[in-house]
């Protein structure tokens, strides 16, 4: 019996060394530990040994069985690790540590502007949120006080998917409703103001030229609390723009129409090139149109579950929609918007974060 166990152990070890994958291990388990396996065979033979040796051999078989079980378990875990690693490696199929003579990459100018703005807004207590590029009609339009067939939809013709009711978002305002719902509870229960910015890619059915693209980036921002007024809006916009352009900027508001704000504005900054005197960059007006904004329409707040009546609290808020692409053009002096989507690395790799 003893020699039989030793023989089986040798066989087991040899097979274990050769087992290259999980099915091979499973086959071994059946062969040695299964109902009709070698250990069961040994147990059967136990019947034939003299009574006084039964106990000793019985214990031997049991500890042999335990040993094989443990060894198989260790090998199974090891193989599993290797298989997972192989799956990852074959998915990536490259070796990060290999030296390369390719030039080091650089960030897209829009990414640079977006990150810079995110940092500025974070420092003013805003949360940064992400949102989908595919949205439904409700979020892109109806929750923003733009009912079906409203003429304001003409300004934002976009791309519709085959799936019913799905479209590519035409503006970052499409996330307003979701943000209000996400942060509304903390506003009502803890008095925590909603302050969030949400950058994103937007799409419109545009005829493309030097100033228009069908794909561009915006950064939306909203702030909602008790007693939020236009002064708060002006303060935050001025502070943010002074940081972006690294100097004091003068802003002005003109009336602007957007169904989701009331009153609505176009925010202009005094031309940074001529200081307001008038030059070709500002078409001699002394001002540059930069950012539509306004006080959030009560219907939009209500859709977002925010109370607009006096009882128990009346909330108000502002929203703005900064054109990130536009800002990147101004900041880096890019004259043609198409540069951003053309993926010409010579053009795109010259922008460096400050």
Tokens 């008095």: give the residue. 191
Which residue minimizes CB distance to ligand PHE? Answer: 321
According to the binding rule CB under 6 A, does residue 259 interact with ligand PHE?
Answer: no
According to the binding rule CB under 6 A, does residue 223 interact with ligand PHE?
Answer: no
According to the binding rule CB under 6 A, does residue 200 interact with ligand PHE?
Answer: no
Question: Closest CB to ligand PHE among 203 and 287?
Answer: 203
- Could you say which of 109, 199, 304, 321 contacts ligand PHE (CB under 6 A)? 321
Please state, in angstroms and as integers, the Cα–Cα distance from residue 170 to each residue in 231, 272, 295, following that order.
Answer: 28, 29, 20
Residue 297 DSSP class: P
Rg of the chain on CA atoms, in Å = 34
Q: Least distance to ligand PHE from the beta carbon of 138, Å?
A: 16
Work out the end-to-end distance of the chain between its first and last CA atoms, rounded to an integer number of angstroms. Answer: 79
Stretch that binds ligand PHE, among 81-89, 135-143, 258-266, 339-347 (CB under 6 A): 258-266
Asked if 205 and 168 touch (Cβ cutoff 8 Å), the reply is no
According to the binding rule CB under 6 A, does residue 320 interact with ligand PHE?
Answer: yes
CB-side exposure of 255: number of CA atoms within 13 Å?
4
According to the binding rule CB under 6 A, does residue 158 interact with ligand PHE?
Answer: no
Cα separation, 242 vs 237, in Å, equals 8
Q: Least distance to ligand PHE from the beta carbon of 133, Å?
A: 15
Stretch that binds ligand PHE, among 18-26, 84-92, 160-168, 291-299 (CB under 6 A): 291-299
Contact mark string toward ligand PHE, 101..120, x via CB under 6 A = --------------------
Q: Least distance to ligand PHE from the beta carbon of 227, Å?
A: 19
Asked if 249 and 269 touch (Cβ cutoff 8 Å), the reply is yes
Question: Closest CB to ligand PHE among 64 and 303?
Answer: 303
**Encoded tokens for 274:** 């001529």
Asked if 161 and 195 touch (Cβ cutoff 8 Å), the reply is no
Stretch that binds ligand PHE, among 70-78, 127-135, 315-323, 331-339 (CB under 6 A): 315-323
What three-state secondary structure class fits 291?
strand
Q: Least distance to ligand PHE from the beta carbon of 123, Å?
A: 22
Q: What angle do CA 46, 52, 58 make, to 5 degrees?
A: 35
According to the binding rule CB under 6 A, does residue 171 interact with ligand PHE?
Answer: yes
- Could you say which of 199, 200, 259, 292 contacts ligand PHE (CB under 6 A)? 292
Q: Least distance to ligand PHE from the beta carbon of 171, Å?
A: 3
Q: Quote the distance between the C-alpha of residue 299 and its chain's center.
A: 29
According to the binding rule CB under 6 A, does residue 258 interact with ligand PHE?
Answer: yes
Q: Least distance to ligand PHE from the beta carbon of 162, Å?
A: 25
Q: Specify the DSSP element, H or E, that contains 83.
A: helix 51-92
Question: Closest CB to ligand PHE among 199 and 321?
Answer: 321
According to the binding rule CB under 6 A, does residue 173 interact with ligand PHE?
Answer: yes
Residue 31 burial (C-beta neighbours within 10 Å; 0-12, 13-18, 19+): middle
Instruction: Residue 177: name the closest of 198, 201, 156 by CA.
Output: 198
Q: Quote the distance between the C-alpha of residue 126 and its chain's center.
A: 17
> Which residues are at the interface with ligand PHE (CB under 6 A)?
171, 173, 220, 258, 261, 264, 292-294, 319-321
């Amino acid at each position: 019996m003893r020699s039989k166990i030793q023989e089986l152990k040798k066989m087991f070890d040899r097979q274990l060394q050769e087992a290259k994958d999980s099915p091979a291990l499973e086959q071994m388990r059946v062969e040695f530990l299964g109902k009709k396996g070698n250990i069961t065979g040994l147990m059967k033979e136990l019947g034939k040994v003299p009574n006084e040796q039964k106990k000793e051999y019985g214990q031997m078989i049991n500890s042999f069985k335990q040993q094989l079980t443990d060894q198989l378990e260790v090998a199974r875990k090891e193989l599993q690790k290797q298989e997972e690693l192989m799956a990852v490696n074959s998915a990536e199929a490259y070796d990060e540590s290999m030296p390369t003579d390719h030039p080091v990459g650089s960030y897209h100018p829009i990414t640079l502007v977006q990150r810079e703005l995110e940092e500025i807004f974070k420092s003013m207590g805003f949360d940064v949120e992400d949102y989908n590029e595919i949205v439904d009609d409700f979020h892109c339009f109806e929750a923003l006080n733009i009912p079906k067939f409203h003429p304001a939809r003409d300004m934002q013709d976009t791309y519709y998917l085959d799936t019913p009711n799905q479209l590519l978002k035409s503006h970052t305002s499409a996330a307003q409703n979701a943000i209000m719902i996400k942060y509304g509870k903390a506003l009502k229960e803890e008095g925590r103001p909603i302050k969030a910015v949400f950058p994103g890619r937007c799409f419109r059915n545009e005829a493309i030229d030097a100033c228009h693209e069908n794909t561009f980036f915006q950064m939306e921002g909203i702030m909602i609390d008790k007693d939020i007024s236009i002064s708060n809006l002006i303060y935050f916009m001025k502070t943010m723009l002074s940081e972006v352009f690294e100097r004091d900027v003068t802003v002005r508001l003109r009336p602007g129409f957007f169904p989701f704000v009331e009153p609505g504005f176009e925010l202009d900054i005094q031309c940074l090139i001529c200081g307001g005197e008038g030059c070709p960059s500002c078409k001699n007006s002394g001002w540059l149109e930069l950012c539509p904004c306004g006080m959030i329409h009560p219907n939009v707040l209500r859709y977002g579950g925010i109370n607009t009546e006096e009882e128990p609290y009346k909330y108000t808020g502002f929203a703005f929609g900064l054109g990130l692409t536009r800002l990147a053009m101004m900041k880096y002096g890019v004259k043609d918007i198409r540069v951003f989507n053309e993926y010409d690395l010579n053009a795109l790799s010259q922008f460096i974060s400050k």
